[in-house]
Amino acid sequence: MCGYGTDGYAIYWYCLELICDDLGRDGNFTFELKHDAETIGIALKVDQKRVEEIMVYMVNLGLFENHDGVITCLKLAKYMQESQTRNP
């Protein structure tokens, strides 16, 4: 994450882990990040405002999507679909 150093890197991968951890738990594959900036900040010891700023940056880069305040990673869905359809 240009300009955000290890905080950006950590937040990106942690968000992906959170999304993957929630996949299919309730029978619904939404690829939604269900944790807020405060929770992520506490877990990673990063200020909540910085987490919010980095998340906006990542959405603007197209790494995540923001639909009415709901953060998703549909690229992850596409990756998973492609990995299941590849030849062994």
Residue 5 has pLDDT above 60, yes or no: yes
pTM: 0.84
SS3 content of the chain, % helix, strand, coil (to 5): 60, 10, 35
**pLDDT at residue 77, as a whole number:** 76
User: Looking at the DSSP assignment, which residues form a beta bridge with residue 71?
Assistant: 66
**pLDDT at residue 87, as a whole number:** 59
